[in-house]
Structure 1
Amino acid sequence: MKTFNVPIIYRSPLISAIKQHRKQQDRMKKDFSPTLLDFGPVRILLARHFGFCYGVENAIEIAFKTIDENEGKRIFLLSEMIHNPQVNSDLLSRGVRFLMDTSGKQLIPWEDLRSDDIVIIPAFGTTLEIEARLQAIGITPLQYNTTCPFVERVWNKAEQIAAREYTVIVHGKPKHEETRATFSHSRFHTPTVVVKDMEETHRLAEYIHGRKPAEQFYEEFKGQYSEGFDVTRHLQRVGVVNQTTMLASETQAIADYIKQAIIEKFGLADDQVAAHFADTRDTLCYATNDNQTAVTGMLEATADLAIVVGGYNSSNTSHLVELCEEKLPTYFISSEEKLLSANEILHWDFHHHQELHSTGYLPGKEVVTLLLTSGASCPDAVVEGVIRKLLGFYGLEEKLEEKAAAFS
């Protein structure tokens, strides 16, 4: 796989050594057991896969290269390039300005842009409407494009099944930048509707079955369907794609549920299903799959708690937290700064969108075992920072370099 020129500040000698060691041992990526970092009083089980993915490294390389090669020019990002506070802060410190926030709220008026400005498309991609707006200003919209190739793969899959006259159902968070972009690209080709979870899928299936009055759909799914969507016609031939960072098991469950609803609605035999339900296969990216499977493998070990590191608005990170929460006390932090002491921690409750202050997160045991992973937009240097901070609570900071040397 291609390697990228990512700033050294995001790298970690320890994490790089561990990842390279595991890669050499398991080139086919079949072993999802964690890496044990045994420091005596504290044992850290590090997930097999975590941190920067292909799409994130690609985006970072393009963005920083664009800055270096265009000194003196005004450079804008449509919104956060990735959902990581450190990376976005670094871009801002280099003079980059955001045109919108993550919800799509305008921060800088379009009228302020000039044709000689540079606008970088973030890793999530963007809508066709925004591309057209940039074109009208005189800016070539895709000249500085960091859209993840795996996001583009979803768009291509939607276009392919649209060509066969299927409606697209997108499993994603309706307000997320990536889902907004996917919805825009899909609805250009075919009727499209977004479902955010299994609950909404159950409600959509009621319209497939015809159990709910059609007019109710337009209020229930307001803002989540394409213009001209006809609930009586456009739910008879469907295919499911997804926001690439969603929980893999949930996407599969949603596709299976919709498929079963279609089978029951039309009384289909196995060889007739394809006439009404498109085989989209899995449109999750490889990193999302690997990171989630690595967490599942990590959770097979006995531990006292889990720490997940990443941006608080990162979808893929929140799903890693979800998986860990099913088994262990789990703390979602954005950096080592949230580890206030061995007793106090600031952590994000993504269910209620608030930062919590908790005490007693590290149990008073002779040996504490914790699970550690991070989201696909989290730099390895931040993960090392978390490890270093934890070791500091036990007076073991000097052991870090020894551990890095052991994996080299």
Structure 2
Amino acid sequence: MNAPPPDQQRRVNIRTEDGLQRVEVEVISHYRSELVESLRKTGGLLTVGNTTIRLAKEFGFCYGVERAIDLAYAARQVFADRKLYLLGEIIHNPEVNRQLDAMGIISIPMAEQERTISTLSPQDVVIVPAFGAETRLMNIIKERGCLVVDTTCGDVMNVWKRVRSYAKQAFTSIIHGKSSHEETRATASRALGDQGNGHYLVVLTLDDVDYVCRYIREGGNREEFLARFNGESVSDGFDPDLHLQRVGVANQTTMLKSETEEIQRQVRQAVIDRDGEELAPKNFQVFDTICGATQERQDSLFDMLEKPMDVLMVVGGYNSSNTAHLVEIGEKELPTFFIRTAECLKSFTEIIHFDLHQKAEKTSYSEKLASPDPIIVGITAGASCPNNLIEETILRICELRGIAPEHVLQEAAKAAA
């Protein structure tokens, strides 16, 4: 096979009707849960013996994640005789990525992507994950002539359109996100614009934003600013004295909605304080780029927290941003455990969970779960968590409280009938 001209990206459409039917069967076999489907029919509530499970109304796989997984599975079927490479992880869930690895899809760690891609040939297939990929990586893939299966989420691409438009108008993109996250890195690369002369600044915390807003209002020490925001947090050549004059706010799509809204408000007010109400609209732009699924899962948890619960379990990958924000919401109200899978529930005296503040796993004891008294356990999951992991978590909690898994399944099916 001859390589195409380097200016042509070899993207392929593998979503044929026959192929997707075969993919659906395989995906269902890996991730479906009859228990979760039954609970959805009962409004997410199930009581068995002394244990009540309350499931959030919105949780688990979103459309973008389902599409990314479907495309990855379809790529394996369509290109059965070729090497398939995945840029990092398809989504932030270890079970899903383990399945792809078992299918022979080669995941390239972030630190090795540029070097590995540079060795590929037109016979190779590269899968772009749901987060997207930086433009420099996409350019190398194009130069190598590889086939591309692009699973980038539509919500992410909407953010890219917005930051590109900022760059065209000489606006700096202030991006609310984690500078090391794949999605934010991909978005930042688009904020440079088609000519590569745009600028961006990535902020994570409200403390970061407060600092930036003071600089917008009053100016400040340029060297101190660049010492605080450096590396992946700013574009090359960023000068706060120049590039904070005209700003547009965007965000990583999976951030906490309330924080993003507060950042938008604060930056807008800072520009108004500096320029006045009449001139400020010429120097400030904003566009709501929080993904709908992220909002739904956060709003659903807020709704669930208005009802009585004793403990909350949040299931998902520890590096999943949208899942971590669910943990942040929950732990302000009640004991909350961020677990990867049901295997983290060794016993109620040994619950292995991720501590967002220590940024590490730790082992804890739950007096509530261990009590023989009636208890209500809330369960939710981020957009990258499959239903089978939620089922396993429910069954494990009940099992540790002396309820056989088959009894739970029977009661759920009976309630849903």
TM-score calculated relative to the size of structure 1? 0.90
Distance in 2 of aligned mates of 1:40 and 1:162: 59
> Aligned partner of 1:291: which letter?
R
Q: Tell me what 1:303 maps to.
A: 309
Equivalent in 394, 404, 412 of residue 403 of structure 1:
412
Deviation at 1:122, TM superposition (A): 0.5
Counterpart of 1:165 (choices 160, 165, 170) is 170
Q: Which stretches of structure 1, 4 residues or more, deviate above 4 A after TM superposition?
A: 105-108
1:249 to 252, 258, 263: 258
2:353 is matched with 347
Sequence identity (%): 39
1:356 maps to which of 337, 357, 362: 362
Q: Given residue 202 of structure 2, which amino acid in structure 1 is its aligned partner? A: V
1:326 and 2:353 are equivalent in the alignment: no
The alignment yields a C-alpha RMSD, in angstroms, of 1.9
Name which of structure 1's ranges 245-254 and 364-373 shifts more when overlaid on structure 2. 364-373
> In the TM superposition, what is the alpha-carbon distance from 1:153 to its structure 2 partner?
0.9
CA distance in 1, matches of 2:95, 2:212: 39
Letter in 2 for 1:115: P
Is residue 192 of structure 2 the alignment partner of residue 187 of structure 1?
yes
Distance 1:124 1:49 in 2: 21
Assess if the C-alpha contact under 8 Å between 1:304 and 1:363 holds in 2.
no
8 Å CA contact retained: 1:207, 1:214? no
Shift of residue 106 of structure 1? Answer: 4.5
Equivalent residues of 1:349, 1:355 under 8 A apart: yes
* 1:335 has 2:341 as partner: yes
Does 2:204 align with 1:196?
A: yes
> Counterparts in 2 of 1:5-16, with a 5 A limit?
5=24, 6-16=27-37
Deviation at 1:111, TM superposition (A): 4.2
CA distance in 2 between partners of 1:259 and 1:134 (Å) = 39
Could you tell me how far 1:105 is from its partner in structure 2? 4.6
Counterpart position of 1:114: 121
Q: Is the 8 A contact 2:348 2:370 kept in 1?
A: no
Q: Which residue of 2 aligns with 1:49?
A: 58
The answer for the alignment partner of 1:233 in structure 2 is 242
Tell me how far 1:382 sits from its aligned partner: 0.5
Contact 1:78 1:121 survives alignment (8 Å) = yes
Give 1:214 deviation, angstroms.
2.3
Q: Which residue does 1:80 correspond to in 2?
A: 89
Cα shift at 1:21:
6.3
The letter for the 2-side match of 1:368 is I
Contact kept, 8 Å, 1:39 with 1:396, in 2: the verdict is: no
Q: Distance in 2 between matches of 1:50 and 1:246?
A: 16
TM-score, structure 2 length as denominator? 0.88
Separation of aligned partners in 1, 2:158 and 2:41: 28
C-alpha separation between the residues in 1 aligned to 2:336 and 2:258?
20
1:279 to 277, 286, 290: 286
1:117-132 matches, within 5 Å, as 117-132=124-139
Does residue 1:261 correspond to 2:270, yes or no? yes
For the 8 Å contact 1:100–1:108, the answer to whether it is kept is: no
Displacement after TM superposition at 1:333 (Å): 0.5
> Which residue number corresponds to residue 380 of structure 1?
387
- 1:26-67 CA deviation, whole Å, 9 max, x = no partner? xxxxxxxxx322223111111110000111000000000000
Residue in 2 aligned with 1:29?
Answer: none
8 A Cα contact 1:99 1:107, kept in partner? no
Paired residue secondary structure (2:45): strand
Q: Which residue of 2 aligns with 1:206?
A: 214
Counterpart Cα distance in 2 of 1:81 and 1:127: 15
Q: 1:227 to 1:107 in 2, by over 3 A?
A: closer
**Cα deviations by residue, 1:84-128 (Å, 9 ceiling, x for unpaired):** 000100111111111224xx4549733442221111000100010
Contact 1:51 1:376 in 2 (8 A): yes
Deviation of the 1:8 alpha carbon: 2.5
What is the CA–CA distance in structure 2 between the aligned matches of 1:107 and 1:390, rounded to whole Å?
A: 44
Q: 1:108 to 1:234 in 2, by over 3 A?
A: closer
SS of alignment partner, residue 306 of structure 1: strand
Alpha-carbon offset, residue 304 of structure 1: 1.4
**1:144 match: secondary structure:** strand
Q: How do 1:86-105 residues align onto structure 2 when only pairs under 5 Å count? A: 86-101=95-110, 104-105=111-112
How far apart are 1:353 and its partner, in Å? 2.1
Q: Is the 8 A contact 2:219 2:241 kept in 1?
A: no
2:160 corresponds to which of 148, 155, 163:
155
Matched residue of 1:233: which SS?
helix
> Against the structure 1 CA distance between its residues 183 and 12, is the aligned structure 2 distance closer, same or farther, given a 3 Å change threshold?
same
The whole-number CA distance in structure 2 between the counterparts of 1:262 and 1:63 is 44
Partner of 1:366: 373
Contact 1:305 1:371 in 2 (8 A): yes
Q: Which structure carries more helix by proportion?
A: 2
Between the aligned partners of 1:19 and 1:286, the Cα distance in structure 2 is 20
Structure 1 residues 169-178 or 342-351, which shifts more?
342-351
Q: Select between 260-269 and 72-81 the one with higher mean Cα deviation.
A: 260-269
